[in-house]
């Protein structure tokens, strides 16, 4: 069955156990995969096409030999292409106890895999085409309306244009903005510009992540490319505080649960997929005591800047480089 992406919320899908999502819109695919997984219950088991092609029997045994009394599972096969079509044809018409989600790139109209799934009565196939400007503006507008935030069309268009036509990028930027919005009712063009892109190449969040990841070279590069206003500095420090509090929360969970992947996956609110490897690296760098020390220093710096804002730039730079591990 062919399904349009917006129909997933309305369609009863529990009777289907095979799902193929294909196309160039990675952000939309991630979103749809999340929605499908939320409709089922079970432990997620991931495969990659390269692994499946090397040893297809591992996939067959996992899917076909699972007991009805075993723990429920959701299978996700990632980074797929036309090469996996023969393997899919072996399992698509079988009686499957647990859902299988296949994440594919672009499939042409004459694709064997695409035609196989489109003709199956047991499967749902969803194409994900590139978002147009109108759909991205709609996503951003809904975000601000739901939060009762006033924003001009000029500011809205700037935000959307900086996301390179990718809803995944847009949602990542909206998440950054959400962290900054506490108690706010308006958002200016300058604030959006600073939040989403300090320079042509880097965002405020990237500066924070570079420092917390102890990437001195990138930290230096971002610092060198920007001229910081007093408002910019407060923004960077606010994002830094939000990120360190998130890391603190995750480290506290790690005292009881040692599986980092599980901790990151189950974190609420969900951690954006592009941020997961960055967070994982930062969790391996920082201890509970050291991250608490950073939070204390951030609060101390903010107080010092409020007393004497002429020191704001030097205080921020010294702090950023200290965290990154560079002696000043």
For every residue of 102-120, DSSP letters joined together read EEE----TT-HHHHHHHH-
Q: What is the 3-state secondary structure (H, E, C) of the chain?
A: CECCHHHCCCCCCCCCCEEEEEECCHHHHHHHHHHHHHHCCCEEEEEEHHHHHHCHHHHHHHHHCCCCCCCCEEEEEEEECHHHHHHHHHHCCCCCCCCEEEEECCCCCCCHHHHHHHHCCCEEEEEECCCCHHHHHHHHHHHHHHCCCECCHHHHHHHHHCCCCCHHHHHHHHHHHHHHCCCCCECCHHHHHHHHCCCCCCCHHHHHHHHHCCCHHHHHHHHHHCCCCHHHHHHHHHHHHHHHHHHHHHHHHHCCCCCHHHHHHHCCCCCCCCCHHHHHHHHHHCCHHHHHHHHHHHHHHHHHHHHCHHHHHHHHHHHHHHHHCCCC
- Cα–Cα dist 129/119, whole Å: 20
Does residue 183 share a domain with residue 104?
no
Does residue 184 share a domain with residue 266?
yes
Does residue 59 share a domain with residue 201?
no
Does residue 53 share a domain with residue 99?
yes
- Cα–Cα dist 261/278, whole Å: 12
User: How many separate domains does the chain show?
Assistant: 2
- Domain residues for the domain of 182 are 134-324
Does residue 168 share a domain with residue 91?
no
pLDDT tens-place values along the chain, 328 residues long: 999 998 999 889 999 999 999 998 888 998 999 999 999 988 899 999 989 999 999 999 888 776 455 688 999 999 899 999 999 999 998 888 899 999 998 899 999 999 999 999 989 999 998 888 888 999 999 999 998 888 888 888 888 877 767 787 788 788 878 877 777 788 887 778 777 755 555 677 889 999 999 999 999 988 888 777 777 788 788 889 889 999 999 999 998 888 888 899 888 777 877 788 999 999 999 999 999 999 999 999 988 988 888 889 999 999 999 999 965 4
Does residue 207 share a domain with residue 99?
no
Does residue 139 share a domain with residue 59?
no
The last residue of one of the domains, among 73, 93, 128, is 128
The last residue of one of the domains, among 128, 160, 180, is 128
Does residue 304 share a domain with residue 158?
yes
The last residue of one of the domains, among 102, 128, 154, is 128
Structure tokens at 196: 């989403």
CATH number at residue 90: 3.40.50.300
Cβ within 8 Å of residue 254, ≥6 positions away: 260, 263, 283
Does residue 191 share a domain with residue 95?
no
- Helix (DSSP H) and strand (DSSP E) numbers for the chain: 16, 5
- Cα–Cα dist 294/62, whole Å: 45
Does residue 307 share a domain with residue 213?
yes
Q: Is the pTM of this model over 0.85?
A: no
Does residue 123 share a domain with residue 239?
no
Strand partners, 18: 100, 123
- Cα–Cα dist 58/60, whole Å: 6
Does residue 82 share a domain with residue 173?
no
């Amino acid at each position: 069955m062919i399904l349009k992406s917006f129909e997933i919320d309305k369609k009863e899908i529990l009777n289907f156990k095979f799902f193929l999502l294909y196309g160039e819109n990675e952000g939309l695919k991630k979103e749809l995969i999340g929605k499908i997984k939320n409709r089922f219950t079970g432990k997620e088991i991931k495969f990659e096409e390269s692994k499946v092609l090397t040893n297809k029997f591992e996939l067959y045994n996992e899917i076909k030999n699972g007991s009805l009394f075993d723990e429920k599972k959701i299978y996700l096969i990632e980074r797929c292409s036309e090469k996996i079509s023969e393997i899919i044809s072996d399992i698509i018409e079988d009686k499957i106890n647990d859902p299988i989600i296949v994440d594919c790139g672009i499939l042409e109209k004459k694709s064997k895999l695409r035609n196989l799934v489109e003709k199956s009565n047991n499967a749902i196939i969803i194409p994900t085409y590139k978002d147009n400007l109108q759909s991205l503006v709609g996503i951003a507008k809904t975000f601000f309306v739901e939060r009762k935030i006033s924003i001009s069309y000029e500011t809205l268009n700037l935000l959307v244009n900086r996301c390179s036509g990718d809803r995944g990028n847009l949602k990542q930027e909206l998440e950054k903005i959400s962290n900054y919005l506490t108690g706010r009712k308006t958002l200016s063009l300058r604030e959006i510009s600073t939040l989403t892109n300090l320079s042509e190449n880097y965002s405020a969040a990237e500066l924070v992540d570079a420092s917390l990841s102890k990437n001195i070279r990138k930290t230096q590069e971002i610092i060198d490319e920007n001229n910081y206003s007093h408002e910019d500095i407060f923004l960077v420090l606010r994002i830094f505080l939000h990120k360190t509090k998130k890391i603190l929360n995750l480290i506290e969970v790690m005292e009881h649960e040692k599986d980092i992947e599980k901790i990151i996956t189950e974190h609420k609110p969900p951690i954006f997929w592009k941020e997961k490897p960055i967070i994982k690296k930062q969790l391996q760098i920082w201890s509970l005591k050291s991250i608490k020390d950073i939070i204390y220093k951030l609060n101390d710096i903010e107080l010092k800047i409020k007393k004497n804002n002429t020191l704001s730039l030097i205080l921020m730079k010294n702090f950023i480089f200290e965290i990154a591990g560079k002696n000043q």
